[in-house]
Structure 1
């Protein structure tokens, strides 16, 4: 017979359940930390990609695409060589950046043998991201001040004249008026003129 004074205590299974719950919570915390770490790595990768692509500022390319003469009068007479011309040129500005490029008005000058023979204004403008802007300008060219230069007379008699077009745009790339970076671009083009046909035979830009 059982001892009347013997006490019985109920068996508790709560400790085992509590340990299982605690282990599950630890696993969930580890997963959360892992997910947070992976998310941080992903954000860092996206930021790095953004810095390497979007914010990699490139210098826009400013060029003369084509040029044609509306008039071209010249005299190769010994002692009084000269020329006067009216030229229409198509300019292009290629913006390879992922943000727009804007610039104030500037000028484009044309030279013969290092001396300025004409110029015109390049109006202020802006170029959208990853696009090319095109516009036309008209310039009056005159070599009156070079009358008497032997080199000019020789070139005119040869039927070939070399002109040089140069310009500089001091602009900047801009993103939402928050991110701005100054970026200047220069034009340096050589035009070879065929005098017998009054046309540009060759056009090269650097």
Structure 2
């Protein structure tokens, strides 16, 4: 009976087995450390990518666009005379202020000037206001166009006879873009548009803005 008990009792670990177990434990700990390090590196890369996208898209300040979009005319206050090279128009004009930023754009009072061959023929003031983030504000104004300051010329008379009058509009709009309530940055935009007035009946065509 004593001999049977001795044969079934657990044998003590020899020195080689103990060293193998310790080495295996160290290897497992090393693999865990490497795994955690890889997780940390992946997290840092992900966070860096998120911050880069945030800076390059949301925090990037874009220049708003200020343009002439359309117009109608009041026939009772619109007339031309090719013989005297003169014209007068009342133009109900729609202007657009487009803000592509992720923040509100507040702009100051702005004057839009209209020209015929470099000579002023009309102007209109736009009250200060604001445009919401990633939106377009439509501004309706009445513009009085007249040839009082234009010297009588064969070019103007010819254009009036042909029924097409080419004019330009220019303006500088100053303002600030406020990004996600954190900071604001000054941003100006320039209007530089050309367009034709088809005289009979009066209508605005061929609008082109830079």
Contact kept? 2:102, 2:179, Cα under 8 Å:
no
Structure 1: distance between partners of 2:206 and 2:33: 71
Q: Is the 8 A contact 2:119 2:149 kept in 1?
A: no
* Structure 1 residue 83 corresponds to structure 2 residue 87: yes
Offset of 1:20 from its aligned partner? 6.8
Greater share of residues in helix:
2
- Measured against aligned partners, the alpha-carbon deviations of 1:138-176 in whole angstroms (never above 9, x if no partner) come to 111121222534432332233221111111212232214
Question: How far is the alpha carbon of 1:24 from its aligned partner?
Answer: 5.2
**Aligned residue in 1 for 2:192:** 188
2:130 corresponds in structure 1 to: 126
Describe how 1:36-75 pairs up with structure 2 within 5 A. Answer: 36-70=40-74, 71-75=77-81
Q: In the aligned structure 2, how far is the partner of 1:94 from the partner of 1:201?
A: 21
Do the aligned residues in 2 keep the contact of 1:82 with 1:147 (CA within 8 Å)?
no
Match of 1:144, SS? coil
Q: In the aligned structure 2, how far is the partner of 1:28 from the partner of 1:201?
A: 71
Give RMSD over aligned pairs.
2.7
Question: How many residues are aligned here?
Answer: 195
Partner SS, residue 160 of structure 2? helix
The one-character-per-residue Cα deviations of 1:5-29 (angstroms, maximum 9, x if unpaired) are xxxxxx799x788877666555444
Quick one: which of 94, 116, 119 aligns to 2:120?
116
Aligned partner of residue 145 in structure 1, secondary structure: coil
Residue 111 of structure 1, CA deviation:
0.5
Unaligned 5+ segments in structure 1 are 1-10
What is the TM-score with the length of structure 1 in the denominator?
0.79
Question: 1:64 Cα deviation (Å)?
Answer: 1.1
CA distance in 2, matches of 1:40, 1:47: 11
**Residues 53-107 of structure 1: per-residue CA shift (max 9 Å, x gap):** 22233222221110111131222224xx322221111111222223332211111
| Pairing of 1:1-206 with structure 2 (within 5 A) | 25-70=29-74, 71-78=77-84, 81-146=85-150, 148-206=152-210
Residue 205 (structure 1) shift: 1.9
Q: Which residue of structure 1 aligns with residue 3 of structure 2?
A: none
